[in-house]
Chain A
Amino acid sequence: MRRLFGVAVVAALAVALAFLALPVAALFVDVGPGELLDSLDDQASLDALALSLEVTAIALAIIVVVGTPVAWGLATRRFRGRAVVVTVLELPLVLPPAVAGIALLAAFGPDGLLGDALDSAGVQLVFQTAGVVIALVFVASPFYLRQAQAAFEALDPALLEASRTLGAGEGRTFARVACPVAFPSLLAGAALAWGRALGEFGATLIFAGSLQGVTQTAPLAIFAGFATDFAGALALSVVLVAVSAAILLGIRLVARARPAL
C-alpha cells in the first residue's frame, strides 16, 4: 500500500512536470537563434521589455514597502473583522484581470469614484505609465501579502518575546528580528508577486491602454504581435521566459545564501 502511494506520487510528479514544461519547451523549439536576434532588433519589442522591467520594479517596490508592515500587522494582531479585512486584501487574487481593469477604471478613471479628485490634484493614470503600475500593484500585491503574513505567523514566538524582553519596541523587533528571520519567505513572496506583475495583461490593457513606450508592456506587445508578426511575438515570449527564469533563479539562490536564523 505504502509503495503504491509512492508510485502514485512519482507518476503525478511526472505528469505535472510534462504538462507544465511542454508549452514552455515548445516556445524554445519554435524560435531559432536568428529570429531571437531579429526580435531584439525590433524597437517595439525592446521598448516593451524595458517598460515591463521598469513598471514591475516600481510596482514590486511599492508592494514590499507598504505590504510588509501590513502583513506584520495582520500576523500579530487579532481584531474584530480581521477575517473580512484579510479576504478583501486577497480578493484581487480571484478577480479575472478584465474585471480588475474595469474596477480600476470605475475607481480611478476620469468618470470613476475618485476621478474628479485625482483630476483636480493633477494626477493622470489612464493611458499613463503610472496607470500600468497601479494595475500591477492591484493584481500582484495579494501574492506578496499572503506569503508575508504566513511567514510572520510562522515565526517562533519565543524569538519575538526575547527581543521584547531585551527592551526592543515593536518597530525594532519588526525591523531587526522579524524581517531578517522571515527574509527567505518574504523574498519568495516578492518573487511570486513579481511574476504575476510581469505577466499582467487584461487589467493593464483595460485600465491603462496600449501604447508603445508608454503602456505597452511585453505581454501586450506579444498579444499585438500574435496577429501581425507571429515570429516576433514568439521571440519576445522566449526572451520574457528567459528573463523571468533568470530572476526567479537569482532570487532562489539569494534566499538559499541567507538561511533563516
Chain B
Amino acid sequence: MRRGTLVALAAALALAGCGGSSDAKPTITVSAASSLKRAFEACAATLPGEDVRFSFAGSDELAAQIRQGARPDLYAAANTKLPQQLASAGLLDRPVAFAGNRLVLAVPAGSRIAALDELARPGTKVVIGEPGVPVGSYTRDVLARLPAAQRKAILANVRSQEPDVLGVVGKLAHGAADAGFLYATDVVAAGSRLRAAELPARLAPHVDYGIGIVKGSNHEAQAQAFVDSLTRGRCRQAMHRAGFEPPPG
C-alpha cells in the first residue's frame, strides 16, 4: 500500500467539489480535456435529467488523477490513447470515440503569419503543449513530418510548453507569443482574438476524442446518457457549433 495515502488524498480532492447535490437531479462529474470546455458547458445546459459538474484540464493530468484514485463519472480526452490506457488498467469502461478535431496553426488576430515555414524564422515566439498533453503530442507529430532543419529551427523558437490548450490560448491572446498549435475549436472559442491557419493535409494529424465511464461510477445511467447525447442527442449540436467534427467511422 505504498500509494495508499496519496490515493486517499487524490480521491478527497476529486470529491471535494461534489457536495450539495440535490436529491431530485443526480449530479455527474465529468473530467474533460480543456479543449472541450466550451462545447461541454453548452451541452450540459441542454440536458434535462442531470446536473453536470466539470473538471477541465489537460487530458494527461486528468488521467493521472484517475490513476491516483480520483473517481469522476466520466473521462473525456483529446485522444483515444489515454482512455484506452485507462481501460486497459481497469479504470474505465468501454471507451468510445465521440468527436473529431483538427490541429491548426494559431496566431493572434492581427498577426501576419500565415504558414508553418514562418515559424522557423529566428525570433518568432512559438508556444506549444507539453509532450504529455494530447495537443503537445499532436504538435510533435506535425513537426516530426517536417524536414529536420525546419523542425530544429521551429523547436529552437519554442518559448513555453504549456500544460493544456488554455495555456497556449492565453499566451497568444495576450500577444506574448507569435504562434502556437491549437485545435480548430480552440480558435473558434477564442472568438476574434485568434486566427487559425490550416496545416497542409499531409502534415495534419488525426485528432479523435475518446470518452468512457469511470469504473465504480454511481451514476452509470446518467453518464451513459451524457455520452449518447454527444453523438446522437441534444449535445451533438453544441459540439457541431463549437467546431467539432463527427467521430470517425
Contact = CB atoms under 8 A, between A and B. Distances in A.
Contact of B2 (A22, A29, A211): A29
Given A30-B2, A30-B6, A228 B125 contact: no
Nearest to A216: B161
13 contacts: A29-B2, A30-B3, A30-B5, A109-B174, A110-B174, A209-B127, A209-B160, A210-B161, A215-B160, A223-B163, A226-B64, A228-B60, A228-B130
Interface centre among A209, A215, A226 (most CB of B within 10 A): A209
Contacts of B174: 105-106, 109-112
Nearest to B57: A227
B176 A127 contact: yes
A105 to B, nearest CB: 5
A209 B61 contact: no
Interface secondary structure of A, over-half rule: helix
Q: Which 4 A-B pairs have the closest CB atoms?
A: A209-B160, A227-B60, A111-B175, A127-B159
Contacts of A212: 161
A33 interface: no
A223 B164 CA distance: 12
Contact of A23 (B9, B131, B171): B9
Nearest to A131: B176
B124 interface: no
Nearest to B158: A211
Interface residues of A, number: 30
B132 interface: yes
B163 A109 contact: no
Given A23-B9, A30-B6, A205 B163 contact: yes
Contact of A228 (B5, B9, B132, B162): B132
A224 B177 CA distance: 20
Contacts of B160: 127, 208-211, 215
